[in-house]
Structures are given as C-alpha cells and as structure tokens.
Amino acid sequence: MTENKKVIPPYERTAHYYETDRMGIIHHSNYIRWFEETRIHYLEQAGYPYSKMEKDGVMIPVLSAECTYKNAVRFDETVLIYLKITQFNGFKMTIEYIVKGKENGDIKAIGKTRHFFVDSEFKPIRVKDKYPEVYNVFNDNKEEE
C-alpha cells in the first residue's frame, strides 16, 4: 500500500492572458478549471492517464467544487498546484488543493472537489473489484488519516 505511494510533483501552470478579467487578475472561475487540469496531471504522473481511464469505461464526475481565494494571481504568473486525496473508498472521493505562487510560495487559493465513479452509461459504480487499476491509482496515494 504505502510502498506504492508515488511522490507526484505539483502541477505547474502559468496564467494565460484570456484568463484575466478587467480587475486585472485571474477570474475566480478559472481556478475550478485549474483543479481539473491538476487532477489530469496527477493521473498522468501516477501512470494511469484519465484519457485511458475513460477508454477503459470509467468516468469521474464532479459532485461538488469549492475554492477560497487568498491572494490574486496575475497574467503570466506561475503557480504550483498541490493535490491531496483526503477521502477515497472506491465509490466516492474527496480531493483537496493548495495553489501556491511559484516565485514566493505564497498561498493563492485552497480548494476541494468531491467525486463519484460511473461507467460509460453514467451508472454509479464501485471500482474496487471491477476496475482494480482505477482503485489503486487513488488508494495508493490516499492521505493516511
């Protein structure tokens, strides 16, 4: 279990121009999209890309998403987004995020998303038995309580 735990580097992301708004900062809605990119990056680094997971018949819809904004991010600023799987039972999952400025390490935002697992017919599933590869890629990296 913990022997399989990989150290996944944070997701590195530079803010695009079109992600700014007239306040001169990155629009708050874009962080929810950055969390999705962070999940995709995590799975790719962990060895089971989400694109492959979808081809294997599993999708991971979002049950809820939240973000608290601490410090603005500006155009061309680079952030590092850290992801932690704080709850996973093969049926539901909670992921937490910390967005830090790459230059200063200042906390830009923190977030959380909750998920469930479905098959290609959108039917909720438990992945432990039928999709062990999916089960392990999350369970192996789950935070110990």
Residues lying near a second copy in the complex (CB under 8 A) are found at: 16-18, 20-24, 27-30, 32-33, 36-37, 40, 49-51, 59, 61-69, 75-76
CB of 34: closest distance to a second copy in angstroms? 9
φ, ψ at 23 (rounded to 5°): -75, -10
Q: Which is nearer to a second copy, 73 or 127 (CB)?
A: 73
Q: Which is nearer to a second copy, 87 or 128 (CB)?
A: 87
Q: Give catalytic status of residue 56 as yes or no.
A: no
| CA-to-CA separations, 124 to 57, 67, 112, 137, 139, in angstroms, rounded | 12, 26, 21, 18, 18
Q: Which is nearer to a second copy, 74 or 130 (CB)?
A: 74
Euclidean distance between the first and final Cα of the chain, in Å? 14
Q: Are 47 and 137 in contact (CB under 8 A)?
A: yes
Q: Which residues are catalytic, by number?
A: 21
